[in-house]
Structure formats: structure tokens, C-alpha cells
Amino acid sequence: MVKPLAGSAKAPIAIGAGISAGFGVLALLWFTRGALWAAPPAQLPGLFDYPSAYIGDSVLIPAAAATMAAGVKRLRPVRREPALVLVATILALAAAVAMQVVWLADRQPRSNWTSPTPHHFNIAGWWHAVFFVVVSVIVMILATSLFARLGAAVRGPGRQDAEAMLRGPWPPVVSTCLLAYALLVVHDSVEATTLSTSSSVAGLSIAATGFFVGAGAALGRSWTLLMRPLLIGVTAAATLALLIFAS
């Protein structure tokens, strides 16, 4: 059974706004460099040299998270969900922390304003590391809860309502935001092939594959319902990325 959306929008909005606020702190650090804290060297790539940050972290990821949260709110919880969420949280936390360790361990990284020298994060770098870990866990929890509830709904008495929701506008929003973010990350990473950039692309590839495989596995025979949002997402994400790269 799918619950009406009315009255359930506060939590999704709060999640999206919270993630955007996390990026807002990073932006504040960028604009106050040299005033409130020691400025990184001016020649290093800055915040607005990375579309995956100033567009992905500020808009795309918050929109995807808020939309997934709205989907979770509309579906009834399932018995196994807490255990699945616990496992997902541990995996996401471990993977995200490991990613930060790899970035710090890179002997020849592509230095930027958050990590001006190898093996060193400045205050902005540490904030970004915490932001990355927290957001990774949030997205993983939302995806796990959403897939668990969708899987139960399409196999139970709420099948028709769940399928109607999947045919609605929110799945293309999620796929568009996540795929566009992926393209931006790859764009930001390919300019210099280092241990840290390679680990970013590899981690992203694993996460994206797991997301869509998990969605398909949860839906079972109804997996074909993913084709429309996936096709829309690929088209819209590619168009958006090309517009950003051309600007």
C-alpha cells in the first residue's frame, strides 16, 4: 500500500536542505579563505573548478536524496528493513572512510584548494571528508529502505499502487540526478589520473552498479518498470552534463 504524500514532505525536504547546507558550509569556507583561515595557493583548482561539487553536492545529490526520502515515506516499512539498513550503513561508512584514507595516502594527488599538499587536508578538506562520509551513508540508507519497501510492495497487495508510483515522475528525477552527478565526477577526475581520482571513479562505478542492480533485484519481475526512468535519466543527465561542460 502506498500512503498519500500530503503531510509527509517535511522529512524529505529536511534531508535535501540538510545536504545542501553541508555544501553551503564548504562554500562559506571557500569565500572566507584568507580571511578566517589560511588561504590555499591561488594557482590550485578551487571550488568552482569542480562541477561535481558546486552543482552535484549543492543540487543534484540533495534533490536525489529528497526524492528517495519521499518515496520511502510513501511506502510501508518491512520487517527486515532495520537489519538491511544496519548492514548498508556499515558498508557505506566503511567504503566512504576508506575513500578518504586513499585520498590522503596518495603520494602524487592532483592538489586542490582542500588538499594543497599530499597527505594533508586543510579545514575545508576535513569538512568535505566529513560531508562525503555523512552523505554517502544517508544516500545508502535511503536507497536500501526504498528498495526494501518497493520490493515488498510489488510482491504484496499494494502492487498496483507501487507500480503506479514507479510510473510517476519521481524515478526519472532520481536517475537523472544520480547519473548527472556521476558524469560530473568522471569529468572532474579524468583531467589527472592519480590514485585518488582513480579510486573516485572506481568507487562511483561500484556504487552506481549496485544502485541499479539493487533496484532491479528488489522489483523482481517488475524490473522493466526501471527502463523508462533509466532512459529518461540517461538522456537528461547527458544533456545537462553537456550544457555544464559547454558553459
Do residues 45 and 54 make contact, with C-beta atoms less than 8 angstroms apart? no
How many domains does the chain fold into?
1
Q: Does residue 5 sit within a domain?
A: no
Q: What is the pLDDT of residues 176-214, one digit of tens each?
A: 999 999 999 999 988 778 888 899 999 988 998 888 888
Q: Does residue 176 sit within a domain?
A: yes
Q: Does residue 4 sit within a domain?
A: no
Q: Which of 122, 124, 128 is nearest to 99 (CA)?
A: 128
What residues of the chain score a pLDDT lower than 70? 1-8
**Three-state SS at 194:** coil
pLDDT, position 156:
86
* Domain carrying residue 188: 10-246
Do residues 109 and 196 make contact, with C-beta atoms less than 8 angstroms apart? yes
Per-residue DSSP letter, 33: B
Share of the chain above pLDDT 90, in %: 71
pLDDT, position 241:
95
Do residues 225 and 243 make contact, with C-beta atoms less than 8 angstroms apart? no
Q: Does residue 1 sit within a domain?
A: no
φ/ψ of residue 114, rounded to 5: -95, -20
How many whole angstroms separate alpha carbon 105 and alpha carbon 97? 12
How many whole angstroms separate alpha carbon 132 and alpha carbon 92? 11
- Model confidence, pTM: 0.92
How many whole angstroms separate alpha carbon 143 and alpha carbon 137? 10
Q: Does residue 2 sit within a domain?
A: no
Q: What is the pLDDT of residues 224-243, one digit of tens each?
A: 888 999 999 999 999 999 99
